[in-house]
Each structure stands twice: as C-alpha cells, then as structure tokens.
C-alpha cells in the first residue's frame, strides 16, 4: 500500500474532473472539425473536376479526416478515465473522512498509514480487549479504503494507457477485426463480455471506430466502450437525418413554387407531399431528441456526474439509454424505465429524472457511488388508449432482461453492485412482464404509479423476492381512475394481497413523485442505496 490518509483526503477531485470535462469538450470540437472536413472535401470534389493532383488531394484529405475521426473516441476515453477517477475518488474521500472522524470521535489514535490504536487510557465501561478489537475494526475499514484508493490509481493508469493512438509501427489496419467475429445482437451478455475481454486494446479501438453500431448495441460490452461507439452513431445519425430533412425541405419548397406559379402538379406529387410532410415531422422530432441527449452528454458542469450514452438508435420510434455516472464502477445502479408517451423526440424530462435520482442517492449516501440509467430501450405506447395493450411490454421483455444481465457482466471489481429497476406508469408493466416471463437480474424493483404489472402476486416476479418489490401510488394520481379489476395489466401492486412492500408518497398528480417535497423521492433514494429499513 502506498497511499496515506493525508494523501487521499488531500486529493482535490475537482482537478481531474475539470480535466475530464476539457477532454470531452475537445472530443466534441474534433468531431465538429471532422464534419467540416467532410463538407470541405465534398466541395473540393465538386469544384476540381479531374487530374492526378485532384485524386492525390482527395486521398490525403480523406486520410486526414480519418485521423480526426479516429481521435474522437480516444479523447472520449481519456475524459471517461479522468471523470471516472474523480467520481470514484469523491466517494472514497467522503467515506475515509467519515471513518477517520468516527475513529477519532471514539477516542482512538489514527496514524497517517491507517493504523488505529486505543492510545491513552480512558474512563470507559468497555474492557481493554473490546477497545482493542473495536480499534482494529476501524483500522481494517480504513486500510480497505486505502487499498481501494490504490486500486483506483492503477485502474485509471490502465484506462488512460488504453486510449492512446494506434501503434504506428504495426502499420495501418493494425487491430483489424472481421465484422463477422462480432457477436450477434441478442447474444448472452456474459459471452459477449468474455469475447470483449479476449481482444487487444488495438482491436477494441478498431471495432469502436469501424462498427460503432454493432459495439454500441451489445449488452456485455463495457459501458465506456458503448459510450464511445454510441456517440459516433448519434453523430452520424444526426448528420444523416439533417441531410434528409434538407432534401425534403428543398422538395417541398420546389412543390410550393410550382403550385404558386400555376404549373401542373401530378397526383403522384400530391400524394408524396403528405408522406414527405409526415416524414419531415418525424425527423424533426428525432433531431430534437438528439439535441436534448447531446445537451446532457456535453454538459460541462464538473459538479454533475458524467453522462454515458449506453444505447442509441433512430430505428422505428427510436431508442436511447443514457447513464448518469458509470454503472460499471458504481456501488448502486438504478435502471429507470419510463412509461406511456416516452420516445426519442423528447427524452430530456426522463433523463432529468435520472439525474435527480442520482443526485438524491449520492446525497443520501455520499460514501458510495450511485449511477442511474434512463432506459428507453423499448417502444413505449404513444397514447393512453394504447397503454391498455400489453404487447408494448412484451416487446421489451428480452431487451430489458438482457440489459440487466449485461450490467452484471460488465461491472468492475469483486463486489456486485446493488441493482434496482424502477418503472413509472407503463414502465412498471414492462418490468412486471420481464420479471414474470424471463426473470430479471435486480436486487430491488420499484413500481411507481403502476397500472398493473401483469400479475397479481409479487412472488410471480422472478429474480426478486417480494420483500424487495416496492410500490407506491399517490392519492390524486389519475392512475387511480383505472378500475382495479383483474384484467389487462392486473391489480394495483400497492394492494396488500399483492404481497410486496409499499412506500409513502404525498398526494399529487402523475408526475408529483419527483417533487422535492414528496417523501417518495427520499424513499426511492433509500431503496437505491440499500437502506430498506429506513423506507417509510
């Protein structure tokens, strides 16, 4: 052990945090420049018609653009390592300070190396043996924490080293991996993780840069790598959708001009007009959602945990999985499943709920680190009548099950994290169907404002015992107006005969659970941080 108490307590975690923010900023700038380079190359291609010099210039330009694009995930990786170090250090410093205060408050002598002794004789009823045993217990706890600080130092060095430029001596294409060797979507996350562990750093970098859509979607790949990959996917999807939107704008402008000029417009044009308008609206929604996600990903406030893009797709209604803090290194992990109306066009509100729940938990238990995840990994019902249909929940079962298994597979360290899955409204139905059909890898389930979970018995929820299934419904929440009949999604899980636990929430509407004055928020934070006995 090399680190001492004074070294750990003297660690100013804001410095690596700020440096990490700077690297995230740099990654954004480099990515923007790479995009500008692409446009510039296109202009050169259009303006310079022929000749060997043109070909050489385009080739060189393309190489340079490739180098810029390849730098982005490396810079993101450095940002992850620095901000992860800051977040882990913050919890260690808080815990160490508390342990030292406790030991000194009990009258023991604490050395800088972490030893705790009884010291001078004191007037106490406890025997000398008991005092020595208690001092040794304090000393063990402090030493374990100093060892954790040492391990964090070493793992941060490894992470920083892994994000270096490819070894130029190995030549271009070093680390190349065949696309076919990437596990197929839906593969058991434990197997995916074994495969990822078997790769070299060069191979991982190659995969992230070359097949970001495959890597970003694979449960079992570490969150940091998925974040690097999905940021690339999000960026290219934003460019693609923006280009499509511009094309449609041009088409519609031309159509309007022709109508205004009295030119003949075919029936084909008229029917296409409706489709184009619809598609343009859909794209506008997705671009708005992408901007909202970027707004959180690019937050430069070092006081807030770093956000990780764990999943992203614009297919169908779109999917987004955003983590607040790194679940792979956190002590507690909350997966939040939103309900009816959630989609890619407006994820900001659900991301903020994840943000607030992370803040609540870290405030409740500052000696541990909590990460929260907004899991919009399913197609949620768009309307309230559609929420009567269980098929949306059934469609989410395999994905939520695999995602939770992936969290277990990729978690770092020897101690498993305390994993909680919380659903709001229809999100609780998704959790219920997952738990009853495939089981769910979680330590606690939290059902907020549930219309029913597909079963009337908490013991049907496989993977979590009924004493760790929590439910709440606020008086005044319109969810009460849905009749509590045993059809569709089943009964209200706050009923006594459901067999789970309940917790208090103040009267309010369907979103009031997240108001500061609502005891539901503190109760959720207690469950997330494993303080079940304190839940009211």
Partner 1 sequence: MTGRLAVRAAAFWCVVFSLVAMLAAGCGKDRNMQPTITLAEATERVERSLRDAAAQLPAGAELKREGPDEPLPCEGAGGMDTGQVFMERSYHVIHPEPWPTDQLIEILDRYWKSQGFRVLRDDRGDRLPATLVVRDSANQVDVAIDLYHRGGGSIDAYLVADSDCIWPDGTLSPRS
CA gap 434, 393 in Å, rounded? 8
> How many Cα atoms sit within 13 Å of 407 on the Cβ side?
31
Q: Using CB under 8 A, pick the residue from 6, 7, 15, 101 that binds partner 1.
A: 101
Q: How many residues bind partner 1 (CB under 8 A)?
A: 59
Evaluate whether 215 touches 179 at the Cβ level (below 8 Å): no
Evaluate whether 469 touches 500 at the Cβ level (below 8 Å): yes
- The 3-state DSSP class for residue 324 equals strand
187 part of the interface to partner 1, by CB under 8 A = no
Nearest to 463 by CA among 413, 419, 406, 529: 419
CA gap 29, 31 in Å, rounded? 5
Q: Using CB under 8 A, pick the residue from 33, 54, 159, 288 that binds partner 1.
A: 288
Structure token pair of residue 207: 């995969």
CA gap 153, 80 in Å, rounded? 14
Of 27 and 307, CB closest to partner 1? 307
Shortest Å distance, C-beta 382 to partner 1: 9
98 part of the interface to partner 1, by CB under 8 A = yes
Nearest to 361 by CA among 417, 400, 429: 417
Of 164 and 515, CB closest to partner 1? 515
Of 156 and 372, CB closest to partner 1? 372
Of 129 and 481, CB closest to partner 1? 481
Angle at 140 between CA 138 and CA 143, to 5 degrees: 110
Site for partner 1 in 336-355 (CB under 8 A): 338-342, 346, 348-350, 352-353, 355
Beta-strand relationship, 501-502 and 418-424: unpaired
CA gap 474, 472 in Å, rounded? 7
Q: Using CB under 8 A, pick the residue from 383, 414, 415, 475 that binds partner 1.
A: 383
Show the binding pattern over residues 409-438: x = contacts partner 1 (CB under 8 A), - = does not: ---------------xxx------------
Shortest Å distance, C-beta 235 to partner 1: 22
280 part of the interface to partner 1, by CB under 8 A = no
Phi, psi of 72 (to 5 degrees): -60, -50
Of 438 and 511, CB closest to partner 1? 511
Q: What are the residues facing 404 on neighbouring strands?
A: none
Q: Using CB under 8 A, pick the residue from 22, 177, 388, 398 that binds partner 1.
A: 388
- Which residues are at the interface with partner 1 (CB under 8 A)? 98-102, 104-105, 288, 301, 303-304, 338-342, 346, 348-350, 352-353, 355-356, 359, 363-364, 366, 383-385, 387-389, 424-426, 449, 451, 478-479, 481-483, 487-488, 506, 509-511, 514-517, 519, 522, 526, 531, 534
């Amino acid at each position: 052990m090399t680190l001492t108490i004074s070294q750990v307590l003297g660690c100013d975690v804001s410095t690596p945090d700020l440096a990490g923010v700077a690297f995230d900023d740099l990654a954004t700038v480099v990515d923007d420049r790479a995009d500008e380079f692409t446009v510039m190359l296109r202009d050169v291609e259009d303006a310079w018609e022929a000749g060997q010099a043109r070909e050489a210039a385009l080739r060189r330009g393309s190489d340079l653009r490739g180098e810029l694009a390849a730098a982005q995930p490396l810079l993101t990786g450095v940002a992850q390592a620095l901000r992860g170090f800051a977040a882990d250090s913050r919890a260690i410093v808080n815990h160490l300070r508390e342990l030292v205060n406790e030991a000194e408050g009990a009258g023991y002598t604490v050395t800088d190396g972490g030893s705790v002794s009884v010291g001078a004789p004191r007037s106490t009823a406890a025997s000398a043996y008991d005092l020595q045993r208690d001092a040794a217990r304090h000393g063990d706890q402090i030493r374990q924490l100093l060892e954790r600080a040492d391990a964090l130092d070493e793992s941060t060095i490894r992470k920083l080293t892994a994000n270096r430029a490819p070894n130029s001596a190995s030549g271009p294409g070093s680390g190349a991996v065949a696309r076919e060797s990437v596990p197929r979507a839906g593969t058991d996350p434990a197997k995916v993780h074994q495969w990822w562990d078997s790769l070299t750093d060069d191979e991982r970098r190659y995969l992230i840069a070359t097949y970001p859509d495959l890597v970003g979607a694979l449960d079992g790949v570490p969150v940091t790598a998925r974040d690097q990959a999905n940021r690339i996917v999000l960026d290219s999807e934003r460019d693609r959708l923006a280009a499509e939107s511009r094309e449609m704008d041009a088409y519609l402008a031309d159509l309007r001009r022709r109508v205004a000029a009295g030119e003949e417009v075919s029936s084909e044009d008229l029917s296409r007009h409706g489709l184009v308008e619809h598609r343009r609206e859909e794209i506008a929604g997705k671009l708005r959602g992408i901007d909202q996600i970027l707004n959180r990903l690019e937050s430069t406030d070092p006081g807030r945990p770093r956000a990780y893009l764990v999943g992203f797709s614009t297919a169908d209604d779109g999917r987004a999985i955003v983590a607040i803090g790194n679940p792979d290194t956190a002590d507690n992990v909350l997966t939040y499943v939103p309900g009816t109306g959630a989609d890619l066009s407006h994820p900001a509100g659900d991301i903020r709920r994840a943000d607030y729940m992370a803040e609540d938990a870290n405030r409740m238990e500052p000696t541990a680190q909590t990460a929260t995840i907004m899991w919009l990994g399913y197609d949620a019902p768009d309307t309230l009548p559609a929420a009567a249909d269980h098929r949306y929940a059934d469609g989410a079962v395999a994905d939520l099950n695999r995602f939770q298994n992936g969290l277990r597979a990729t978690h770092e360290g020897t101690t498993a994290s305390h994993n909680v899955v919380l659903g709001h409204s229809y999100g609780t139905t998704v959790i219920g169907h997952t738990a009853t059909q495939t089981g769910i890898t979680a330590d606690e389930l939290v059902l907020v404002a549930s219309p029913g979970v597909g079963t009337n018995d908490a013991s049907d929820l496989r993977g979590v015992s009924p004493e760790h299934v929590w439910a709440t419904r606020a008086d005044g929440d319109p969810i009460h107006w849905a009749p509590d009949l045993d059809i569709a999604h089943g009964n209200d899980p706050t009923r006594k005969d459901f067999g789970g636990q309940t917790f208090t929430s103040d009267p309010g509407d369907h979103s009031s659970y997240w108001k500061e004055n609502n005891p539901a928020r503190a109760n959720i934070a207690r469950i997330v941080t494993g303080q079940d006995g304190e839940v009211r």
